[in-house]
Structures are given as structure tokens and as C-alpha cells.
Amino acid sequence: MSIDRRTFLGTAGLTALAVAGPAALARLASGSQAGAAGATRWAMVIDLRKCLKDQGCTDCMAACDKAHNVPQIPTRAHEVKWIWKEPFEGAFPGQTTPYTEEVFKGQPVLVLCNHCDNPPCVRVCPTKATWKRPDGITMMDWHRCIGCKYCIVACPYGARSFNFFDPRKYIKALNPDFPTRSLGVVEKCNFCEERLAVGKLPACVEACREKALVFGNLQDPKSEVRELVRTRFTIRRKPELGTDPRIYYLV
């Protein structure tokens, strides 16, 4: 019996599909790699009305910069940001209408890494220098970052910054308890994992005078963040992208 090339290729293709198909489909369907499975899922609620009471206040940003040796680079193209302010329309592009409430129009909204449940930065990192911790923190290993900047492109929130210069020259007072970064490395908010490890709250939360920032464990039904998210209406940044952000805003 002879077999022509077309029949052979067709049969081979169908066989491969039958063998590998279901498994591949199951993997595709499972979607996000890291669900909220663990006993801890850190999250933050930002009360915008409280935050906007004093618009000149930069306590949280100053505390973060000090705790993490964040360099203060004057040129906008090269600046390094962990927590900063963005105009309302920029932070929530889908939430504005021509009649957007005047209280929010152009108002500075505090933004930081959203520690997404389905982080695109993690998906694209070629060296696993950024990954999802079981407690939900989108963590970075600066030792392993090769500075390819793919994560910067992937992040829809602009939460990642690149060190175009040696950052040490741009740090006024070095904090010896936390490392600086080096030239050619990406950095972003780490949800103060080094402070959580010793039972402290994130530096920004601790620094806020208005108590506008609430941090806690979403998996704990009695936690303050869970209570706020359950009882009040909150919005998140660009939820339509499917990144499942874990920074909630009370408006």
C-alpha cells in the first residue's frame, strides 16, 4: 500500500493534535498563572477624597524614596518612580466624561505598582527577574534583571522605571538598610516586602497623615481592606485590560 505526501502530513497533523491538543487547550484556558490562592493576598485601598485634602502633601512619596533609596532624577525621560501622582484623566482614562465631576478633573491621583494578579510584566520577563510571590507581591530580583526593559513596555500603568544613570549620584541621603540599584536595572514599588517581613506596614501607609492609604490582607475576611472593598464602591486602574490590579480607589 502506498501513501502520498498529502495523506501522510494530514494524518501526522491530526495525530499530533489528538495527543497534545487537550493538554495545550487546558493550559491556555487556565489563564493567569497566579490566582489568589494563598492565605495572604496583600492589597491597598486609597481613599482619594482623603488623599486630595492636602494636594501639596508628599509625605508618602518622601517616605518611600527615603526607605528605598529612590533616586531623584530631574529629567522627566529618565526619572525613577515608585509612588507618584498622575492627573485623574491619566490614571483612569476610561472613567472620564465631558462632565467628569469637577472635584476629580485634573486632580493628582496617587499611583504605584498595582501588584496585579495577572501581571503582564511577569509574563514578558525573559530572565524571571520579576515574578509573582504567593502573597501577591509582584517582586523583583535586581540581581537578575538584565535591563531589557520589556517589562516597562508591558506594564500598562507606567509603574516601572529604568536606571539610565548610576542612581547613587541622585540620592541625597543614603539609607544603609536598603540597597540602591545600579545602572541598567529596572525598578518599581515592592509593596515594602522588606518591611512586611519584619511586621511593619509599608512606608507610604505609615507616613500618611490622613490615613488615606489602607493596606492589608484581602484573603482575611476581617481585614480593613476587605471590609472597604466589600462595603464601598471602589475603582481600579484600567481593569478592562484583565491585569486584575490590587490597588483599589475609593472615589
Considering the complex, what minimum distance in angstroms separates the CB of residue 33 from another protein?
16
Between 18 and 198, name the residue whose CB sits nearer to another protein: 198
Residue 109 or 145 with smaller CB distance to another protein: 145
Q: How far is the CB of 176 from another protein (least distance, A)?
A: 5
Name the site residues for another protein (rule: CB under 8 A).
69, 131, 133, 139, 141-143, 173-177, 179-182, 193, 197
- CA–CA gap between residue 78 and residue 167 (Å, rounded): 11
Question: CB of residue 142 vs another protein: minimum separation in angstroms?
Answer: 7
Minimum CB distance to another protein smaller for 101 or for 141: 141
All residues at 6 or more sequence positions from 149 whose CB lies less than 8 Å from its CB, including other chains: 162, 186
Cβ of residue 181: shortest distance to another protein, in angstroms? 6
> In angstroms, rounded to a whole number, what is the distance separating the alpha carbons of residues 251 and 164?
36
Report the residue number, 134 or 239, with the smaller CB distance to another protein.
Answer: 134
Contacts of 148 (CB under 8 A, 6+ apart): 126
Cα–Cα distance for residue pair 208/83, rounded to 1 Å: 13
Residue 107, CA atoms < 13 Å, CB-side half-sphere? 19
